[in-house]
Amino acid sequence: MTDELLFEVLDRARRHGHLGPGPIEEHVARSRRFAERVRLPVGQAIDLGAGAGVPGLVLANDRVGDHWLLVDRRATRVDDLRQAIGRLALGEHVEVALRDVAELGRDPHWRGRADLVTARSFGRPAEVAELAAPLLRVGGQLLVSEPPGRAPDRWDDAGLDSVHLRRDGDVSGAVASFTQFDACPERFPRKRRRPALW
């Protein structure tokens, strides 16, 4: 399948205010940088704060992974994602959840199940780590977009260790990668994420 239909779907999301400025082609190219970092076969993948579907919808359309769950807590975005999935004929391997990610991480059906979790513009690093780790299986991978002009080191090793995540080498590229080295402790995610992990 060509990218034409994918571009149309993302352009519609932009008209609805779910995708930021810049050419659609660049949003798709940045999403595909996530695929370059995937290091293992992906059965279940989860995209946090899916918004317009960048990167989750793009990766699902490219068949990176057997099954995707796109999570967002805004009903209008979820409705648009469902329509996009229908237009792209992805319904057999992509579903959308109108849920808070913290609630998903405490759900026994989803806890410790994902091979891959992705996050783009989702939140501060400490929050992303605390919300993603409970969803990952042991050995699973977290991929997070790194914004341009970021602080020299946004990721704290002690904080990552508390949720049993570790860096996969240098995190200086456009997409940072982490591995869930052990099951996330049951106390995470906390209902009130205060104080922050770091």
Please report, in tens digits, the pLDDT of each residue of the chain (198 residues total): 569 999 999 999 999 989 988 899 999 999 999 999 999 899 999 999 999 999 999 999 999 999 999 999 999 999 999 999 999 999 999 999 999 999 999 999 999 999 999 999 899 999 999 999 999 999 999 999 998 777 668 999 999 999 999 999 877 779 999 999 999 999 999 998 999 999
Q: State residue 196's pLDDT score.
A: 94
Separation between Cα atoms, residue 62 and residue 33, nearest integer Å: 12
| Nearest CA-CA partner of 171 in 129, 114, 134 | 129
Give me the pLDDT at residue 128, please.
Answer: 98
Which pLDDT score, from 0 to 100, does residue 147 have?
Answer: 84
Contact 180, 174 (CB under 8 A): no
Sign of CA dihedral 19, 25, 30, 32: positive
pLDDT of amino acid 169 = 85
For residues 52 and 14, is the Cβ–Cβ distance under 8 A?
yes
Q: What is the CATH number of domain 4-180?
A: 3.40.50.150
Looking at residue 152, its pLDDT comes to 61
